[in-house]
Amino acid sequence: MAIDLQQFCANNDQACFGRDYLLRPIHVGDWSLASNGHIAVRVPRAAGSDVTPDVPQSVLSIFDDHSTEDAGELPLFTPPIGECDCTRCGGTGIDEDDDYGGVTKSTCDICEGTGKIPLLHVTSIEINETIMAARYLQQIRALPFPKLAYGFWPGRHDPERPQQRVHFAFEGGIGLLMPLRRPYATHFQLSRPGAAS
């Protein structure tokens, strides 16, 4: 099953500060990868895909310590339904940037000018003291046969394991997700399936 890597790539807002290479999938060596800076996936490189030039080594090495230790099912989660005002433009659909010489206005990249975003985009979840954006859990869930690496969980309180990424795997690839520092206003506590509460 081919994975649409573009869904994991950055939008213009996420690719700012010289990270244009995150706007589309990266093809190097045996692998293709995509990331928006929060979530990243890697799959075997498709035949015929052109090598991506000038990719920073820091991007290529993010999967070096990937683990599938104690891989298990994703927790059950029913995402909230509905919309709210966009967190970027405040519901106007217009993004105003202070450009050192004046304010420039453009269509908001986050809500695409509608002024609304799904409630899922302002929802966080917590598993084993690790907080994550719920929309990324749902993105992982949509992959074929996804599993979280519970044995290599970010150690928020373990000095031997400073804050790390959440590792996951799916049929045909692997991935990483950065935890959040604090929960969003809409927040849910989840448990690993089969774990004692």
Average pLDDT over residues 20-32: 90
Provide the residue range defining the domain that includes 102.
83-120
Indicate whether 67 and 98 sit together in one domain: no
What are the structure tokens assigned to 129, written together? 């003291």
Indicate whether 135 and 72 sit together in one domain: yes
> Whose CA is closest to 52, among 19, 80, 21, 97?
21
Question: What is the domain count for the chain?
Answer: 2
Indicate whether 58 and 28 sit together in one domain: yes
Indicate whether 17 and 57 sit together in one domain: yes
The last residue of a domain, from among 64, 91, 120? 120
Indicate whether 66 and 87 sit together in one domain: no
| Average pLDDT over the chain, rounded to an integer | 86
Q: Give this prediction's pTM.
A: 0.84
Indicate whether 129 and 185 sit together in one domain: yes
Cβ atoms of 133 and 38 closer than 8 Å: yes
Indicate whether 186 and 98 sit together in one domain: no
pLDDT single digits (tens) 105-147 = 888 888 889 999 999 999 999 988 889 999 999 999 999 999 9
The last residue of a domain, from among 92, 120, 148? 120
